[in-house]
């Protein structure tokens, strides 16, 4: 009998086998009727898990799927550290032994609600009161760090042959995100940045403004990716996509003098203070790091007094100005390495003046003949 009571327990328990797989545990129910209903659900889950596992011929426990995904996909992401953290967070929430077949729409919704309750993280020690005062993470962060990551695990498992009869409806799980604003750098703001900038960071920020490449793509640029002969920068960008950027005369003037400062990395900084632990010597040059560049940017923005301008807005500024100059959305899409032109359409507002001028020309072309016709009559 698969439904029974244990001594000294008020709850019914279940214990059955399905195709050699033993499933057992407490129903948490005190009546036999409720326990039988609970066991029926567990039998359906066991059948789905065995069916999916047989098709994929490998374990579908979330911890095992995440391990295989990390080895084949995740560690090669543009930001592998973030991928690892996001996977670990999902495993923490669901538990290592949770089969993907048990994660349906309801379970996924609970995961989204759990992640929405997290607060932003800031470096440095904080009391519990200070941590609780930090704002909740944005909807975009929930989508990117939880829902999309879980969806990738399902896609990966399906590529191995697994079939999910109760797969979550991913589109319904995504939280609404505000339309990303496009911020253009004004001339007086650019001048303020120039006045406030340290000399050793000038080439880096000049390159950021002149190329429109993403922050990480600029910071980690290596000499092996720069070819002055072919006049191209070739490297992997967001999503593992190949980025090819032309070395214009302006870009060459920025990069060429930097040769010899470091054997591998293009952009460096001068250490203002020595640090024995990090083996830093005052006055020596070292490659820029992500955290170091972020700190330098925060100091620069504060010193320049420029408000409401993020590092990523340099990219928006580049895209806006390029579209205004060329009027060609496809060209801007290629320059910014957008996988979907919908991302490029955010800059389309700069064409409003051209559209207005075209509409006016059409209106005048239709009005003049009518005027001449009335005069003849």
Q: Which domain holds residue 194?
A: 187-353
Same domain, 161 and 191: no
The DSSP H or E segment spanning 12 is: strand 12-18
Same domain, 229 and 334: yes
Q: Tell me how many domains the chain contains.
A: 3
Same domain, 321 and 343: yes
CA angle 190, 195, 196 (to 5 degrees): 100
C-alpha distance from residue 301 to each of 67, 162, 201, 298 (Å): 41, 50, 13, 5
Q: What is the pLDDT of residue 336?
A: 87
Does position 171 have pLDDT exceeding 90, yes or no? yes
The answer to whether residue 178 sits within a structural domain is no
3-state secondary structure of 6: coil
Q: What is the pLDDT of residue 221?
A: 94
The answer to whether residue 136 sits within a structural domain is yes
Pair type for strands 242-246 and 232-236: antiparallel
The answer to whether residue 53 sits within a structural domain is no
- Stretch 205-214: mean pLDDT: 93
Does position 355 have pLDDT exceeding 80, yes or no? no
Closest by CA position to 46, among listed 90, 105, 2: 2
Does position 219 have pLDDT exceeding 60, yes or no? yes
- Stretch 370-374: mean pLDDT: 49
> By mean pLDDT, which of 70-74, 179-183, 198-202 is the weakest?
179-183
Q: What is the pLDDT of residue 359?
A: 67
The answer to whether residue 127 sits within a structural domain is yes
- Residue that terminates a domain, selected from 151, 173, 195: 173
The answer to whether residue 182 sits within a structural domain is no
The answer to whether residue 97 sits within a structural domain is yes
CA separation for the pair 135, 201 (Å, rounded): 32
Rounded to the nearest integer, the mean pLDDT of the chain is 86
Does position 57 have pLDDT exceeding 80, yes or no? no
- Residue that terminates a domain, selected from 122, 151, 173: 173
pLDDT in tens, 243-259: 889 999 999 999 999 99
pLDDT band at 365, cuts 50/70/90? Answer: low
Pair type for strands 12-18 and 3-5: antiparallel
pLDDT band at 146, cuts 50/70/90? Answer: very high
Does position 55 have pLDDT exceeding 60, yes or no? no
pLDDT band at 356, cuts 50/70/90? Answer: low
> By mean pLDDT, which of 70-79, 128-137, 157-166 is the weakest?
128-137
Same domain, 193 and 165: no
Q: What is the pLDDT of residue 82?
A: 87
Does position 361 have pLDDT exceeding 70, yes or no? no
Same domain, 92 and 230: no
Question: What percent of the chain has pLDDT above 90?
Answer: 49
Q: What is the pLDDT of residue 248?
A: 93
pLDDT band at 353, cuts 50/70/90? Answer: low
Contact indicator for 269, 296 with CB cutoff of 8 Å = yes
Q: What is the pLDDT of residue 86?
A: 95
Does position 100 have pLDDT exceeding 60, yes or no? yes
The answer to whether residue 365 sits within a structural domain is no
- Stretch 316-320: mean pLDDT: 91
Same domain, 7 and 80: no
Same domain, 228 and 337: yes
Does position 373 have pLDDT exceeding 50, yes or no? no
């Amino acid at each position: 009998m698969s439904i029974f009571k244990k001594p000294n327990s008020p709850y019914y328990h279940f214990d059955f086998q399905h195709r050699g797989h033993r499933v057992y545990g407490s129903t948490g129910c005190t009546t036999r009727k409720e326990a039988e209903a609970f066991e029926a659900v567990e039998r359906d889950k066991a059948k789905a898990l065995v069916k999916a596992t047989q098709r994929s011929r490998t374990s579908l426990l979330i911890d095992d799927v995440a391990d295989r995904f990390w080895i084949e996909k995740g560690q090669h992401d543009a930001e592998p550290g973030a991928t690892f953290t996001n996977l670990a967070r999902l495993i923490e929430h669901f538990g290592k032994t949770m089969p993907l077949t048990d994660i349906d729409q309801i379970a996924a919704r609970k995961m989204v609600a759990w992640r929405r309750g997290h607060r932003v993280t800031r470096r440095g020690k904080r009391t519990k009161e200070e941590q609780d005062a930090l704002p909740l993470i944005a909807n975009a962060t929930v989508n990117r760090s939880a829902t999309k990551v879980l969806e990738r695990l399902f896609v990966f498992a399906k590529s191995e042959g697994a079939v999910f009869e109760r797969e979550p409806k991913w589109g319904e799980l995504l939280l609404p995100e505000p339309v990303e604003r496009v911020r253009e750098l004004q001339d007086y703001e650019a001048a303020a940045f120039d006045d406030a900038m340290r000399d050793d960071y000038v080439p880096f920020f000049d390159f950021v403004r002149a190329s429109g490449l993403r922050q990480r793509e600029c910071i980690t640029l290596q000499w092996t990716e720069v070819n002055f002969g072919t006049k191209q920068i070739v490297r992997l960008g967001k999503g593992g996509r190949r980025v090819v950027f032309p070395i214009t005369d302006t870009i060459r003037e920025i990069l060429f003098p930097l040769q010899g400062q470091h054997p591998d990395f293009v952009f460096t900084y001068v250490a203002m203070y020595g640090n024995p632990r990090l083996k830093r010597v005052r006055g020596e040059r070292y490659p820029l790091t992500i955290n170091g560049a972020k700190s330098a940017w925060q100091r620069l923005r504060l010193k320049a007094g420029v408000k409401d301008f993020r590092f990523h807005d340099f990219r928006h500024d580049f895209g806006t100005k390029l579209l205004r100059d060329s009027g060609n959305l496809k060209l801007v899409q290629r320059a910014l390495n957008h996988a979907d032109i919908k991302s490029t359409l955010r800059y389309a507002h700069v064409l409003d003046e051209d559209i207005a001028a075209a509409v006016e020309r059409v209106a005048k072309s239709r009005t003049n003949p009518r005027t001449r016709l009335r005069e003849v009559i």
